[in-house]
Amino acid sequence: MSISPNASTSRLVLKGVIIAVLATAAGIWSARLVLQRPVVEDELAATRFPVARTVQPFALIDHNHEVFDNAALQQRWSFVFFGYTYCPDVCPTTLSVLNSIAQRLQDVDEDEDIRFVMVTVDPQRDTPERLAEFVTYFNGDFLGVTGSDQALEQLTSQLGILYNRVESEPGSENYLVDHTAAVFLFDPDGRYHAVFTPPLSAENIASDFRKMLQATR
């Protein structure tokens, strides 16, 4: 059966319209995905938010028995790690990395106040005194923070921190705690600015921080 030139042209036009509509729809869908993406990677090893996230009120206590709350995160950049003093591997390794970062950023610290904090996920055993002994072993300027389970949840729930007590025997004090091993960065306004996930590299984190700092100036 033959097809008239007009019919053929009409079908081609219709096909073109359909393709254009689908392309437009795909473009809109892709644009929405981009707009909804929660992070900006822009050649950083870190995951940085396009707009730093406000942290809702929380109140803990540091190893000097001073209140550690939203105000304590302000006026400085803060690298915050969640761990515990009885941790056999991840925590000592991460604190060593944080100490290396602190050394690499010494020149920056002359202009920008930078603090390194470990918040315990084992408040039952990690007293302020034990935290002080533990974190200052890695760097005398490091700060340990603790609080009740309820107080900790006010902060950890906002950041998506997961931790779980693993007992070898029910009721035993000799237990481990599985926990998120990322390092969180807060800006001088006390907002959640970025997160660094394992494997952690002091060189990469220090480099990323310099880039992010430059971008805020």
**pLDDT tens-place string over residues 15-61:** 443 334 333 333 322 333 233 334 444 568 899 988 999 999 999 99
Q: Are residues 128 and 171 in the same domain?
A: yes
**CB-based contact 193:48 (threshold 8 Å):** yes
Residue 15: domain span:
1-36
The more confidently predicted of residues 105 and 12 is: 105
What does the pLDDT average to over 149-172? 92
Q: Total structural domains in the chain?
A: 2
Which of the four pLDDT bands, split at 50, 70 and 90, describes residue 9?
Answer: very low
Does 85 have pLDDT greater than 50?
A: yes
The more confidently predicted of residues 111 and 95 is: 95
Does 166 have pLDDT greater than 90?
A: yes
Query: CA-CA distances (angstroms) from residue 96 to 83, 89, 132?
Result: 13, 11, 16
Cα dihedral 160→175→66→91 (10° resolution):
-60
Q: Are residues 120 and 142 in the same domain?
A: yes
Q: Are residues 15 and 56 in the same domain?
A: no
Does 208 have pLDDT greater than 80?
A: yes
> Does 41 reside within a domain?
no
Q: Are residues 53 and 32 in the same domain?
A: no
Which of the four pLDDT bands, split at 50, 70 and 90, describes residue 172?
Answer: confident
What's residue 169's pLDDT?
Answer: 79
- Coil, helix or strand at residue 74: strand
